[in-house]
């Protein structure tokens, strides 16, 4: 099943490569990976998504915890959580299609953030399946370019991943 794993990591050179290296070294797949510093500049927050069974997930979180630079690891999929991904799309928009695309963007609550003579750049945030649906709704024919950030996630309620 799909797993969203959050990692609090020392914000040091080489830390990220240890995490990424672990995946290739142990044969785990990464579907997406996002990383950025937190409000505490010495820490980075990393969210990765992967598909694996419970045994592998357990081993994966243990291996992540074993890395000296890793401060904390949390499998968000264990409980209620929010996941978000941001996507930017460049689409071919000319003639009648311009209106049609605009309507579709509105339905998905996206925004058109750049307008060119024959193109739009659309911004859309949501969970991964919503983004997938939007791509499907537009159809491959008019999509020129897709950029997705990968999933970021956070636990609902009181619990939080911090020092």
Binding residues vs another protein (CB under 8 A) = 10, 13-14, 17-18, 21, 25, 55, 58-59, 62-63, 65-66, 68-71, 163
In this complex, which beta carbon is closest to another protein, that of residue 62 or of residue 103? 62
In this complex, which beta carbon is closest to another protein, that of residue 25 or of residue 133? 25
In this complex, which beta carbon is closest to another protein, that of residue 69 or of residue 132? 69
In this complex, which beta carbon is closest to another protein, that of residue 64 or of residue 122? 64
User: C-beta of 38: minimal distance to another protein in Å?
Assistant: 14
Single out the residue of 44, 15, 47, 48 nearest to residue 31, CA to CA: 48
User: C-beta of 14: minimal distance to another protein in Å?
Assistant: 6
User: C-beta of 59: minimal distance to another protein in Å?
Assistant: 6
């Amino acid at each position: 099943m799909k797993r969203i794993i959050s990692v609090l990591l020392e914000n040091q050179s080489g830390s990220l490569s240890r995490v990424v290296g672990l995946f290739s070294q142990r044969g785990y797949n990464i579907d997406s990976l996002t990383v950025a510093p937190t409000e505490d500049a010495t820490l980075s927050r990393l969210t990765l998504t992967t598909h694996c069974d419970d045994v592998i997930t357990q081993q994966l979180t243990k291996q992540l915890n074993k890395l000296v630079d890793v401060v904390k690891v949390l499998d968000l999929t264990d409980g209620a959580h929010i996941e978000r991904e941001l996507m930017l799309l460049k689409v071919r928009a000319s003639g009648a299609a311009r209106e049609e695309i605009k309507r579709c963007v509105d339905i998905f609550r996206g925004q058109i953030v750049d307008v060119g003579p024959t193109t739009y750049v659309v911004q859309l945030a949501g969970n991964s399946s919503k983004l997938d649906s939007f791509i499907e709704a537009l159809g491959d024919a008019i999509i020129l370019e897709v950029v997705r950030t990968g999933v970021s996630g956070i636990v609902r309620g009181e619990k939080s991943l911090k020092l």
